[in-house]
Amino acid sequence: MAVRLFSEPFDPWALVRERERELPLEKLGAISVFVGRMRDFNDDRAVQGLFLEHYPGMTKRELERIVMEAEARWPLDACEVAHRVGAVNPSETLVLVAVWSAHRIAARDACAEILERVKHEAPFWKRERLEDGNERWVETNTPGS
C-alpha cells in the first residue's frame, strides 16, 4: 500500500507506471484506476482555482485506514492512493486511486469503495476561487458528484 499527499502537481500515470515496475504483473489480471481532476466549473459558476485544506497528522492516517480496510475486504495485491493538498489549478489531478488484483471484480469494487470513502471520510476541505475573485467553501460532496 502506498498513500501519498502532494503539495505540487503530480502525474498519476507516472505513479501507476512506477508502481508496476515492482509488481508481478503476470499474476495481476486487473488494475482499476480512478483519476479525479479539478474542473473549471462547479454549481453553475466558473471556478479559477481551488485550495485543498487538510488535517496534518490525521489525513494520511485516515487514507491508510481506508486502504487497509479495503485490503481486508477484497483480495488485493497493491493499492496506490495519492491526493493533492494546497493550491490547485483547473485540469490538475486531485486524486488517484489505483488497485491491482488477480481479478476484475475485486479491483473494480475496491477502487470504487476507496474513492467513495476518501470523499466522505478523509479530512480534506475544498475552497473555490471564483471568476470574480470571491472565495467559497464547497459545502458537501454529494453521492455521485
Residues that bind another protein (CB under 8 A): 36, 52-55, 57-58, 61-62, 83, 94-95, 115, 118-127, 137-141
61 vs 73, beta carbon nearer another protein: 61
How crowded is the C-beta side of 8, counted as CA atoms within 13 Å? 0
Compute the least distance from the CB of residue 3 to another protein, in Å. Answer: 13
Q: What minimum distance in Å lies between the beta carbon of 92 and another protein?
A: 14
Neighbours of 62 (CB within 10 A): 19
Work out the number of other CB atoms within 10 angstroms of the CB of residue 58. Answer: 11
Q: How far is the CB of 43 from another protein (least distance, A)?
A: 12
Closer to another protein by CB, 78 or 83: give it. Answer: 83
**Of 62 and 77, which CB lies nearer to another protein in the complex structure?**
62
Q: Which three cell numbers stand for residue 105?
A: 471484480
- What distances in angstroms separate CA 16 from CA 7, 112, 135, one per listed residue? 19, 17, 34
Residue 63 CB, nearest distance to another protein (Å)?
9
Whether the Cβ atoms of residue 17 and residue 31 lie closer than 8 Å to each other: no
